Structure 1
C-alpha cells in the first residue's frame, strides 16, 4: 500500500497538528469541472479604486500619483498604536476570563500603479520592488520597541475576502507574537534543542532528495507542496540556506525570491485559467529582541480552489469539529502544478 491507496494522517512538523488524507476518494481519473478560461481584463486605471494613483481613499486621504510601489497606514486599521485609558485590563489570575490589550500598526502596500495586474503578471522586476518594500517595512517596524512581530501577508481574490483587485498586500505589526508564528517558533526551537539542527533545513534536504513534492527551484529557493499540506494546492517557498528573516537576504537572493513568486503565481493562474485566489504570508523570526536563531523564514500560500475556478474547498463539518481533511494528496497536487506552463495563459492568446 502507498500514500495514494489508503486513508492516512500526516503530521505538520511546523505546528504539531495532523491532517487526514483520503486519497481513495479520487481514484477516478481527474475530471475537473470544465469551464471556459477567465479572460476578464481590468482597466489599467480605475477611477473608483481607492488604491489607484491620485484617487481618494475611503478615509478621505488622497493617494499620491505614485509610479512604483506605495505604502500607507491603513485608514481602518484592525490595530491601534496606543491602547488608550479605556483598554481592557487583566481579570484576576484565577479567572477563566482572560483578556489583555493588544497594540500595533497596520500598513497597506500597493505593488504597482497598474490596477489590472497581479504578481503573476507584474514581472520579476516589479516583484523585486515588492520584496524590497517588504524588507524596508520589516526593518522599520521591527526596530520599534512596541512591536514584537511583523506579519506580512496578501489576500488575493474576492473569495478570500479581498474587496479590491488592485495588486496589494498588508502588514500587521503587533506588540505580541501571534498564535501561528509563535507555535512555529516553539516547534523550531524544540527541534533545534533535540537535534542540534534546523527543522526546515533538514526537511528541505528530505524533500529535495525525494523530489515528488517539489514544483521547481532556483539558486536560492525551493517551491514545494508541503508533505502536510491542508489546502488542495497549498505551497511553501523555502530558502535553501538558513535565514531567520527576510533582511538576511542579499541582492541575488531578493532577485531569486521575486523570480520564485512570479513563477509560482503563473502556475497557479494556469491551473484553472483564472486569477488564482489565495492567502499568502511570510513567517519569520519575531522582532521582540529575544534569540530566535532556530527560525528559518518561509512563505505560505493557502489557496481554496479545488477542482475549477468555481469549485472551492470548504473547511466544514469534520474539518471544523475534528481535524483538517483532504482527498488530493500533496504529491498529486505537486504534479499538477509542476506540469503547468510558466507562460501565463493570458499571454498566449
Structure 2
C-alpha cells in the first residue's frame, strides 16, 4: 500500500469548536459535474432601485418609509423571526416533547445607500462605519438579551431575499445551539491546556501559513483545518479579545481592511459577486460572563460559509451523506486556501475598468 497523501487519500478532520468530524475526500475533486448549474447573476446592478424595500426614501412592505440615509441604516425587521414579547412557556413530556419559549428581536442593517455596492466594493472607511454600527448594536441589545448574532446572507443562491447589500442582527433571550457549543469547547480547552483555544490556533496558523489567505498586523484569515464548505474561512484576531466592543479604533480600522481583503478575494475567485453566509461569534451576555475574567476562554471570531464549489454557477450541496452521517468536502482546506491566496487584492471590476 502506498504512503498516505493528504492531497489524495480520504481522511477525517476534527472541528474543535463544534466537536464534529469532517470527511475530506480530495480525490473526488476530479469528478465530472453533470448536476445543477445556478444563475451567476448580473454585474450591472443600478445604484438606486425604486422598487427596492431597502433603498433610501423608499416605502417598505410595512408602510414605513426609509430615511434618506447616507451611512449604515438599521431598522427592526418587518418580518422578525423573534418577538420582544412572547408568553413564557416551558414543557418537558418525559424528555420526548421539550419546548421553551424565547424572546428577542431581529434587525436589518443596510450597509450603504448604494443598491449596487457589496462589502468588497465599499471603501475601508465605509466598512469601518459598518463595524461601528455592529458595535453600537451589540452595546444596545446586550443590555436585554443573552445573545446577539450579527450575520449576512449574500446572494440569491444563498437565500438572500433582497439584493440591496445588507446584513442582519438577531438577539435572543437564550444562547443558540452553535455558539453554546463553541462556548463549551473554548472553556474546556482553557481548562485542559491553560490556553485560549482560538488565540493559540491563530498563532499556530500564523507560524504554518499553509491555510492562511490574508493577514495584517491585527487579524488573520484562514481556511480552517476543519473547514466544511469548499472556500470557508475564519477571521481571527491576533490578540486576546472576547467581544467586538473591546476593539480599539485602530483594531476596528485594521478589521475593515481585513474584511475588504477577504471579500475582494472571494469576488475575484470566480469573477462574480461571491455569495456567502457570514457571522460573528463573541462571548455571550450571560451573568457569569459579565466580568472579563469570567469569559477569558472566549475569543471573538467571524465565519464565512460560501456555497460555491467549482465556479460561479456550481455550488456545494449539503445532502445525503452530510445529512445522514457527517459533513464531507472534496478539496483539502490547504488547496482552497492556496486558490484564495493567489487572488489579486484589487477587485476585478476595478481592475477591468483600469484595463
| TM-score under structure 2 length normalisation | 0.93
| Contact residue 124 and residue 260 of structure 2 kept, 8 A | yes
Match of 1:270 among 263, 268, 274: 268
Shift, 1:108, TM fit: 0.5
CA distance, structure 2, for counterparts of residue 160 and residue 289 of structure 1: 35
Match of 1:331 among 326, 329, 334: 334
Go from structure 1 to structure 2 and tell me whether the alpha carbon gap of 1:129 and 1:24 turns closer, same or farther (over 3 Å shift).
same
Listed one character per residue, the Cα deviations across residues 255-277 of structure 1 (whole Å, up to 9, x for unaligned) are 01111011111100000000000
CA distance, structure 2, for counterparts of residue 152 and residue 125 of structure 1: 19
1:103-142 matches, within 5 Å, as 103-142=103-142
Go from structure 1 to structure 2 and tell me whether the alpha carbon gap of 1:35 and 1:271 turns closer, same or farther (over 3 Å shift).
farther
Shift, 1:88, TM fit: 4.1
Match of 1:172 among 166, 170, 173: 170
Question: After the TM superposition, which segments of 4 or more aligned residues of structure 1 sit over 4 Å from their partners?
Answer: 34-39
Shift, 1:254, TM fit: 0.2
CA distance, structure 1, for counterparts of residue 95 and residue 335 of structure 2: 48
SS of aligned partner of 2:139: helix
Match of 1:150 among 143, 148, 151: 148
CA distance, structure 2, for counterparts of residue 69 and residue 150 of structure 1: 18
Correspondence for 2:219: 221
| Contact residue 47 and residue 114 of structure 2 kept, 8 A | yes
CA distance, structure 1, for counterparts of residue 268 and residue 201 of structure 2: 28
CA distance, structure 2, for counterparts of residue 122 and residue 297 of structure 1: 23
Alignment pair present for 1:187 and 2:185: yes
Shift, 1:5, TM fit: 2.3
Shift, 1:25, TM fit: 2.3
- Stretches of structure 1 that go unaligned for 5 or more consecutive residues are none
| TM-score under structure 1 length normalisation | 0.94
Correspondence for 1:312: 315
| Contact residue 196 and residue 296 of structure 2 kept, 8 A | no
Correspondence for 1:282: 280
Match of 1:196 among 191, 194, 197: 194
CA distance, structure 1, for counterparts of residue 113 and residue 129 of structure 2: 12
Listed one character per residue, the Cα deviations across residues 219-261 of structure 1 (whole Å, up to 9, x for unaligned) are 1100110000000000011000111010110000000111101
Go from structure 1 to structure 2 and tell me whether the alpha carbon gap of 1:35 and 1:80 turns closer, same or farther (over 3 Å shift).
closer
Go from structure 1 to structure 2 and tell me whether the alpha carbon gap of 1:24 and 1:135 turns closer, same or farther (over 3 Å shift).
same
SS of aligned partner of 1:90: strand
Go from structure 1 to structure 2 and tell me whether the alpha carbon gap of 1:346 and 1:38 turns closer, same or farther (over 3 Å shift).
farther
Go from structure 1 to structure 2 and tell me whether the alpha carbon gap of 1:209 and 1:95 turns closer, same or farther (over 3 Å shift).
closer
Alignment pair present for 1:297 and 2:300: yes
Correspondence for 1:246: 244
SS of aligned partner of 1:173: strand
SS of aligned partner of 1:290: helix
Correspondence for 2:292: none
Shift, 1:95, TM fit: 4.1
CA distance, structure 1, for counterparts of residue 30 and residue 156 of structure 2: 32
1:39-118 matches, within 5 Å, as 40-84=43-87, 88-92=89-93, 94-118=94-118
CA distance, structure 1, for counterparts of residue 242 and residue 23 of structure 2: 30
Give the aligned length. 341
